[in-house]
């Protein structure tokens, strides 16, 4: 059979991956009808909101949705109808790390993937191409295919593809419009290769042919985990060196700049920080650890586990620096934390270093004021409740205040901690901040964002991660 000409796409899951990805597909392919479905009515309502207050913040996303919504881009909770009408179905549901059972703390929880797969099999009346878009362990496609074949209606067949996302939150729309590569994995059978070509033809509407890579199904699944593991490894490596810099008087900025000139290394992902966060890096590395242990490769598992352990060490090391510098105690002291998202230009707080910092400060009985320009107040309370499961939320709220601006957050504080690299934190009126702080006034820069010398000239005591200067 020739490749299917895709005219209708369904995406199951309207989150950080499915929403932006399929919105861009609709934007670039006006001849293809794209329906994004989710069981969460509030999320779908937000995607359909008249004021375009979308459920996720991503630069450029509103413009894409404005252009395509109602034309060939639709958001709905009618999952069954979208499945039945689609030629091609993206499965883009959440795959969090398991919290209990076999593999707890490491393996991916594939419950939502299985539920979506079973739903497709139950309601599909015609053959479909089913595409893994969620980050999944190796050979998940095999499980999906088994479920589909065991439960499909007579005459229905399903081809499974792997099409992992390589998006960086904050630049996701740019990454989708001009990707480094699009990876499509398929079974190397005639039917599998035809399905692969069908999806490749969708991307061909705007992605150059040489950037669409077609590989085997299992290579595609592993490539996603491998890419995130390698990127996280670079961050943990430079953060490990930042600790040495602080102990020796070296400057991690200068070290990174020097080694980045080596063409074999390159300059990207060599910026020291308080640690990496987000929905993918830690989850994918832990998944790789679990896979390695399952394959009886303990040395490989230990190698990748150390990347995560180094990240946790960097966060705890930074919070300890705050305590040590503030005369070895922060009990009863007031600390402003600027930034709660895991990185700038997103409202996502998953695995955010700021959560760990605030948790550590609360355990030292400090008072914390938080400001972030995009994270909702309810999300902050939820994250802190999960981070401090033995502490009632009412108790947390006695120690934590949420401010509406950076300047308000810094008033009457002993210290300011920069946890997220929002551009506005670089442009704060530090003279005003200093006047309204208790003295001596400290700034702890966990993102190498500020001009430390300029702040010292104002009167601040400044600590920048990865620099060996004394306060």
Catalytic residues: 280
Closest C-alpha among 6, 15, 268, 11 to residue 132:
11
Residue 20 labelled as part of a binding site? no
Q: Please work out, in degrees rounded to the nearest 5, the angle formed at the alpha carbon of residue 353 by the alpha carbons of 350 and 357.
A: 125
For 459, counting Cβ atoms within 10 Å of its Cβ (0-12 exposed, 13-18 middle, 19+ buried), the class is: middle
Tell me the CA distances in angstroms from 37 to 45, 121, 151, 233, 469, one per residue in order: 11, 16, 22, 35, 53
Residue 283 labelled as part of a binding site? yes
Residue 96 labelled as part of a binding site? yes
Residue 433 labelled as part of a binding site? no
At residue 464, the 3 state secondary structure works out as strand
Closest C-alpha among 92, 31, 22 to residue 61:
22
| Other CB atoms within 10 Å distance of the CB of residue 319 | 23
8 Å CB contact between 202 and 6: yes
Residue 94 labelled as part of a binding site? yes
| Bridging pattern class, strands 334-338 and 212-216 | unpaired
Residue 135 labelled as part of a binding site? yes
For 427, counting Cβ atoms within 10 Å of its Cβ (0-12 exposed, 13-18 middle, 19+ buried), the class is: exposed
Residue 43 labelled as part of a binding site? yes
Residue 95 labelled as part of a binding site? yes
Residue 281 labelled as part of a binding site? yes
Residue 18 labelled as part of a binding site? yes
Residue 16 labelled as part of a binding site? yes
Residue 97 labelled as part of a binding site? yes
At residue 216, the 3 state secondary structure works out as strand
Residue 371 labelled as part of a binding site? no
Residue 314 labelled as part of a binding site? no
- Going by the annotation, the residues of the binding site are 13-18, 38, 43, 93-97, 134-135, 169, 280-283, 350
Annotated binding site for NAD(+): 13-18, 38, 43, 93-97, 134-135, 169, 280-283, 350
């Amino acid at each position: 059979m020739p490749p299917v000409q895709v005219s209708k796409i369904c995406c199951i899951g309207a989150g950080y991956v499915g929403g932006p990805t399929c919105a861009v597909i609709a934007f670039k392919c006006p001849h293809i009808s794209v329906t994004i479905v989710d069981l969460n009515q509030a999320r779908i309502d937000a995607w359909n909101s008249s004021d375009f207050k979308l459920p996720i913040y991503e630069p450029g996303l509103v413009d894409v949705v404005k252009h395509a919504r109602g034309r060939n881009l639709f958001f709905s909770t009618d999952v069954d109808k979208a499945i039945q009408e689609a030629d091609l179905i993206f499965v883009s549901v959440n795959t969090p790390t398991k919290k209990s059972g076999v593999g707890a703390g490491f393996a991916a929880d594939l419950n939502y993937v299985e539920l979506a797969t079973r739903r497709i099999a139950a309601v599909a009346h015609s053959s479909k191409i089913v595409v893994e878009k969620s980050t999944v362990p190796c050979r998940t496609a095999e499980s999906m295919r088994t479920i589909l074949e065991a439960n499909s209606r007579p005459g229905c067949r399903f081809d499974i593809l792997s099409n992992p996302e390589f998006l960086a939150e904050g630049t996701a729309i740019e990454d989708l419009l001009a990707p480094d590569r699009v990876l499509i994995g398929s079974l190397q059978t005639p039917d599998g290769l035809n399905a692969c070509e069908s999806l490749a033809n969708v991307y061909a509407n705007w992605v150059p042919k040489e950037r669409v890579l077609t590989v085997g199904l299992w290579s595609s699944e592993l490539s996603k985990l491998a890419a995130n593991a390698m990127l996280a490894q670079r961050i943990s490596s430079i953060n490990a060196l930042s600790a040495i810099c602080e102990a020796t008087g070296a400057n991690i900025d200068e070290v990174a700049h020097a080694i980045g000139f080596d063409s074999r290394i390159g300059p990207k992902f060599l910026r020291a920080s308080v640690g990496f966060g987000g929905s993918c890096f830690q989850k994918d590395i832990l998944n790789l650890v679990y896979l390695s242990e399952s394959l009886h490769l303990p040395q490989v598992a230990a190698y990748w586990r150390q990347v995560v352990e180094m990240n946790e060490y960097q966060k705890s090391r930074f919070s300890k620096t705050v305590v040590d510098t503030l005369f070895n105690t922060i009990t009863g002291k007031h600390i402003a934390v600027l930034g709660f998202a895991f990185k700038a230009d997103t409202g996502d707080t998953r695995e955010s270093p700021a959560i760990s910092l605030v948790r550590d400060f609360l355990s030292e009985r400090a008072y914390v004021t938080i400001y972030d320009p995009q994270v909702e107040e309810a999300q902050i309370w939820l994250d802190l409740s999960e981070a401090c499961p033995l502490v009632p939320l009412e108790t947390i709220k006695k120690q934590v205040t949420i401010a509406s601006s950076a300047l308000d957050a810094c008033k009457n504080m002993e210290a300011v901690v920069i946890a997220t690299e929002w551009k506005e934190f670089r442009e704060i009126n530090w003279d005003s901040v200093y006047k309204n702080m208790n003295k001596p006034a400290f700034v702890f820069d966990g993102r190498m964002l500020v001009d430390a010398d300029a702040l010292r000239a104002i009167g601040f005591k400044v600590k920048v991660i990865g620099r060996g200067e004394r306060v």
